[in-house]
Homo-oligomer: A and B are copies of this chain.
Amino acid sequence: MADMVAGNFFGPQNNTYIRVSLPAVCFVWQIAMVILFGVFIRYDEESDEKGWHEFKRSHNITSNIENDFYFRYPSFQDVHVMIFVGFGFLMTFLKRYSFGGVGFNFLIAAFGLQWALLMQGWFHSLDPVTGKITIGIESLINADFCCAGSLIAYGALLGKVSPVQLMIVTLFGVTLFAVEEYIILDLLHCRDAGGSMVIHTFGGYYGLAISWVLYRPNLNLSKRLNGSVYHSDLFAMIGALFLWMFWPSFNSAITNHGAGQHRTVINTYLSLAACVLTTFAISSMGQKKGKLDMVHIQNASLAAGVAMGTSAEFMITPYGSIIVGFCCGIISTFGYLYVTPFLEKRLKLQDTCGIHNLHAVPGMLGGFVGAIVAAAATEEVYGKEGLVETFGLSGKFENRSMSTQGAYQAAGTCVAIAFGLVGGVCVGFILRFPLWGDPADDFCFDDEAYWELPEDEETIPPVLEYNNHMINKHQDTHESQFSLEES
């Protein structure tokens, strides 16, 4: 009887069989990476043994400490932690999808960064003479950033898609990212060191659009698993804190050497601190009994980092940063309290992690804040050379006025939204082909679908009871491998 019921219920599980598709995708794409890297990717002049010696001679550099590596490596490692532990553990909050949260995050980031090195290389650093892309530490940071876009999208899809689908989300996500980044940073010549526009706005709307196309009307069949337990919330807190702590590194990782990196860290640090207080305040106010909600603490307190992505490198002033953080904590927590439920009910948009409130909206805000701060920049505040350096106003952009720059920054934000929405809808339709192994509606948010799970925690028998058990011959089927003769 039980089996029959199981049969009925586990029936739809069959379509989560990925033994062919996942290895096939991994192998084909990884082999493609080997070939493409062989054809295109080389060390740049600061990581090439011969090149660096020549670079030092030609630039009259006497000390190895001038290598870009020493300016950027500490930030790179922090960003790397954010991508793998930060995003990964933030997504372990579901009671039975923690393996999928951290595990698939690992898989798609590892693939995405390779593809990002190629895509970003083709658009930004392809040498027209040799036909090669040269990479250094800054390329690795940018590759990690590029993955972040797809990982954000994963946040909306968490628990509802198969790893094969995620590989497709990432393949297209990275591709679209490289194109919109090229348009925003190169053609429009916007500044966006921490990626409010190119990473968070794009990634957020990309994920939301996919999720909208993949709407599951019967998702409440999996409702019992769409929530946290006490310890899964603590695991998620690890991710949240590493994101929060290292966000100053995220925003400053590729800003200008010297005062640029220094100021970006200060601004992001202050903004995030302010955001925590308003998040706690609204979280408590939003609930009848005044109790705090871990979902808000884990997520909304990060919104300030997102919103400072563009403007943190500008002279936004310390109190300006705090004001941005102040507002973001309020807006993002309100989003979790009221907007996410509204989106799900009215717009048929299921957003597991609430990326709408953590990435899409704060990212968009960050883009517009950046536009305003850029438009308000003056030579008096930045100094002449400071203004040129901070906004890169040399070459053909030499004569661009600051208000024009502000307008372009705002336009860049719109480009990011457009790319996210249109790209996401297209990718969403690709994912609807019925061959990617996604789980049935009653099998979502369940690691059982793709992971070998250990037996349940409750079944660890204390040695005493266990052995009494054995003596009484009440052997549980689970433990049948343990035979009495051995004891």
Cβ contact within 8 Å between A261 and B482? no
Cβ contact within 8 Å between A229 and B456? yes
Q: How far is the CA of A50 from the CA of B315 in the complex (A)?
A: 10
Closest to A219 in B: B486
Q: Does A77 contact B (CB under 8 A)?
A: yes
Cβ contact within 8 Å between B315 and A49? yes
Q: Does A204 contact B (CB under 8 A)?
A: no
Contact of A482 among B223, B231, B293 (CB under 8 A): B223
Of A30-38, A177-185, A400-408, the one contacting chain B is A30-38
Residue numbers in B under 8 Å from A77 (CB-CB): 74, 78, 245-246, 248-249
Cβ contact within 8 Å between A287 and B19? yes
Q: Does A127 contact B (CB under 8 A)?
A: no
Cβ contact within 8 Å between A47 and B263? yes
Residue numbers in B under 8 Å from A223 (CB-CB): 481-482
Of A99-107, A353-361, A410-418, the one contacting chain B is A99-107
Cβ contact within 8 Å between B273 and A114? yes
Chain A 370-386, CB within 8 Å of chain B: the 1/0 string? 00000000000111011
Contact of A278 among B30, B381, B385, B460 (CB under 8 A): B30
Cβ contact within 8 Å between A452 and B287? yes
Chain A 464-482, CB within 8 Å of chain B: the 1/0 string? 1011100100000001011
Cβ contact within 8 Å between B273 and A113? yes
Cβ contact within 8 Å between A265 and B467? no
Contact of A382 among B22, B50, B96, B481 (CB under 8 A): B50
Of A186-194, A205-213, A236-244, A420-428, the one contacting chain B is A236-244
Chain A 218-238, CB within 8 Å of chain B: the 1/0 string? 101101110111111111011
Contact of A277 among B5, B29, B38, B464 (CB under 8 A): B29
* Chain A to chain B: the 8 pairs with minimum beta-carbon distance, closest first: A19-B290, A64-B258, A50-B383, A52-B259, A110-B276, A49-B386, A26-B281, A23-B281
Given contacts A48-B259, A221-B486, 18 further A-B contacts (CB under 8 A): A5-B468, A10-B463, A22-B281, A48-B315, A49-B390, A52-B262, A63-B66, A65-B65, A73-B261, A95-B460, A96-B230, A102-B237, A103-B292, A110-B276, A113-B269, A227-B454, A229-B454, A229-B457
